[in-house]
Structure formats: C-alpha cells, structure tokens
Amino acid sequence: MRSLHQGRGLGEGATVAECLATAARQLAGALALPPREARLEAQILFAHALGVNRAWLIGHDRDVPTAAPVIEALLRRRLAGEPVAYLLGEREFYGRTFRVTPDVLIPRPDTELLVELALEHLPQQATRTLLDVGVGSGAVAVSLALERPLCRTCGVDLSAAALEVARANARGLQAEVEFLVGDGFNALSGRRFDLIVSNPPYIAASDPHLNQGDLRFEPRLALVAGSDGLDLIRRLVGEAPMHLETDGWLLLEHGWDQAGVVRDLLRGGGFASVFSAKDLAGHERVSGGHR
C-alpha cells in the first residue's frame, strides 16, 4: 500500500483530515465505493484503530494521529477486500452489537425480517419453544431469546467454531439459549418446537457472486447449499413436521428469487397458510407456513 499521504505517511506529520482524505480516495479506488461510503469507511476504520468515535475525528482533524501502524494495517486489509465487520470484530443486528469472526456469516439487515415475523408469532408473554437452525453468530436466536425471555430458545449449527461465537454473544448479551452442534435436525430426535426459524445457506455453488465482495471471506458452509442453493431448505421443509408441535410454524429466509420454489416446497410438504414476506429492498425474502 502507498503511504497514506503522498511523501508523508502516518506518523510523518499528516493530520487526521489529510490521512482520512487519502484513505477514502484509496478505498474508493480499490473497492469501487461511492465517495461518501469510502469516507464513512475510512472514518470507521480510523475511529476503531484510535479507540475513539467518529465525532472525535471531526473535532481533532488537525491532530497528527497516533497508532499509525494499527491504522495502516487495518486499511491494508480493507483495501484487499476484507469485510469491515471482520476487521472491527462486530456488527449491529436488531439493535444489539454481535461479535463476528470469519467463522460466522456477517448478520445482514434483511435477516431482521425473519426476527420480526418470528416475533409476530410469539405474543409477549408466550412460553413457547423456539428453534433456530444454522445459528451462525447467534444473531437470530439471541435476538429472539432477548425479545421473548419467557420462551425457551434452542439453536443448532453444523459448525462448532460458529457455535463458539454464538455462545460468546449469548453470554455477552445475557441471553438464555441452548446451543447444539448438529446437521439439520439430527441432534434433535424426538424434540418438537412451537416455532422453527432458519436463515440457511441458500446460494447455488456456481453463483459468481461468491467470488465478489464480502462473500469471498465468509464461510462457504454458511453460504452454499448444493447446485441450486436449495439443498438445506428442501431438507428442513421435509423434516420440520417431525419437529413441530401441532399448529407450529416454520419460517425460512431464502434468496430474492427463491420464494416461489420455497412456497411450492412448503405446500408440497403439507404446510398450510403458506406465505412470503418482503425485505427492505422489496424482495420476497422469508417464506413460511404452519403444520
């Protein structure tokens, strides 16, 4: 990476404002970001490295920043494409901060729809049982457990490393969740739940987006599900009836163009009241039905 300020790198007298401007230019060029987004990313990375907030950066724009090697190292990794959430080690989801590592999917704002729909099926004082298949960072399971503390929440994931992150998040946010390592429902024989939610991997193995942006750095296990992306969804729809109480609901997040197929799978699997709901971008993103 070139020094942050032509001829004067960090620690060589460049001010916070000068370093931010140069970093923003480099980010815009390397990652094809619009200028405003590049500037925001530069501020976020500097603030993280310096242990301050963005307001401090604006108020101290004529200071010469300390921690130059830390800022340069973070910027170098971001310029190589590493997701901001992995560099910071955290991401906000449903109003709370979750720890994230490269062992887990970075929680997406779209997945908040799955949480909202689940909550609609869980009255405030409900004492129901919930299952989240594919917990990852724990974003969904921990959010539901905190929003509905009287419910009993269980989360499974095939990745033991992901479950470590989910456990740390549940501890840190003081959520009661039972975590199990398992492939689909196989750790849950004989157990039934009032509500099963899942944001499973749903990208087709040949999808070129896997080689772009943040997806390049996220676990393949969290993203890819067979040649059409529907392998795990098919299994979950097929096996969920054995793990749902009578009238229990299954809610599944899926790709923006998979709603029709998922609704057909649900109807074919004997689910009633099958529906799809739209995400912030207007795409049908979550489908569900009840037993």
Ligand X SMILES: C[S@@+](CC[C@H](N)C(=O)[O-])C[C@H]1O[C@@H](n2cnc3c(N)ncnc32)[C@H](O)[C@@H]1O
- Considering only the stretches 35-43, 197-205, 242-250, 278-286, report the one whose residues sit in contact with ligand X under the rule CB under 6 A: 197-205
CB of 133 to ligand X, least distance (A): 6
- Considering only the stretches 11-19, 71-79, 154-162, 239-247, report the one whose residues sit in contact with ligand X under the rule CB under 6 A: 154-162
One-letter amino acid at 119 equals L
For 162, 232, 241, 261, the CA distances from 290, given in Å and listed in that order, are 29, 19, 9, 17
CB of 176 to ligand X, least distance (A): 17
CB of 190 to ligand X, least distance (A): 18
116: which residues sit within 8 A by CB, 6+ positions away?
none
Answer yes or no: are the C-beta atoms of 265 and 274 closer than 8 Å.
no
Q: 């230019």: which residue's tokens?
A: 25
Which residues in the 107-126 window bind ligand X by CB under 6 A? 107, 111
Residues in contact with ligand X, shown as a per-residue x/- string from 205 to 234 under the rule CB under 6 A: ----------------xx---------x--
For 59, 176, 258, the CA distances from 280, given in Å and listed in that order, are 34, 29, 16
- In terms of Cβ atoms closer than 10 Å to its own Cβ (0-12, 13-18, 19+), residue 70 is middle
One-letter amino acid at 236 equals L
Q: At what angle do helices 112-120 and 139-147 cross, to 10 degrees?
A: 30
- Considering only the stretches 10-18, 38-46, 156-164, 274-282, report the one whose residues sit in contact with ligand X under the rule CB under 6 A: 156-164
> Could you tell me how many residues of this chain bind ligand X (CB under 6 A)?
24
Does residue 255 bind ligand X (CB under 6 A)? no
Show the beta-strand stretches assigned E in 199-279. Answer: 244-253, 272-278
- Considering only the stretches 82-90, 152-160, 204-212, 260-268, report the one whose residues sit in contact with ligand X under the rule CB under 6 A: 152-160
Nearer to ligand X, 41 or 103 (CB): 103
Q: Which two tokens stand for residue 164?
A: 């470590």
Residues in contact with ligand X, shown as a per-residue x/- string from 59 to 98 under the rule CB under 6 A: ----------------------------------------
Cα–Cα distance between 245 and 84 in angstroms, integer? 41
CB of 141 to ligand X, least distance (A): 7
Cα–Cα distance between 143 and 155 in angstroms, integer? 12
Cross-strand pairs, 203: 224
Does residue 200 bind ligand X (CB under 6 A)? yes
Does residue 22 bind ligand X (CB under 6 A)? no
Nearer to ligand X, 151 or 156 (CB): 156
Residues that bind ligand X (CB under 6 A): 104-105, 107, 111, 133-137, 139-140, 156-159, 162, 183-184, 199-201, 221-222, 232
